Amino acid sequence: MPPENTILRLKNVEGHLKGVIRMVEEDAYCIDVIRQIQAVEAALNRVSAQILENHLNSCVITAVKGDNPSERERVLKEITEVFDMANKV
């Protein structure tokens, strides 16, 4: 995904999050706030998934096809760490 597309998506999430903050400041109905938070989380997850897909299709493929075994191990370890961290959240 081109960086400008990522930035646009993140700015959209930022605007949505500001809306959630406004809802909390205005003492909106709790369930409505939770639903909006879930929408922000889902949007961030989509951006994260797109960034990961781009990384897999560029950096990881380059490393796996390359001749440097330590570079292959490094990128595969990074991917494992990302998934481990996602499961802790």
| Cα dihedral 76, 74, 55, 42 sign | positive
pLDDT at position 89 is 67
Topology (CATH) of 3-88: Methane Monooxygenase Hydroxylase; Chain G, domain 1 (1.20.58)
Residue type for position 66: G
Per-residue pLDDT of the chain (89 residues; tens, 9 = 90+): 578 899 999 999 999 999 999 999 999 999 999 999 999 999 999 999 999 999 999 999 999 899 999 999 999 999 999 989 888 86
pLDDT at position 10 is 97
DSSP 20-54: HHHHHHTT--HHHHHHHHHHHHHHHHHHHHHHHHH
DSSP state of 26: T
For 27, the 3-state DSSP assignment is: coil
d(CA 38, CA 88): 18
Indicate the domain borders of the chain: 3-88
Nearest to 46, CA basis, from 12, 85, 4: 12
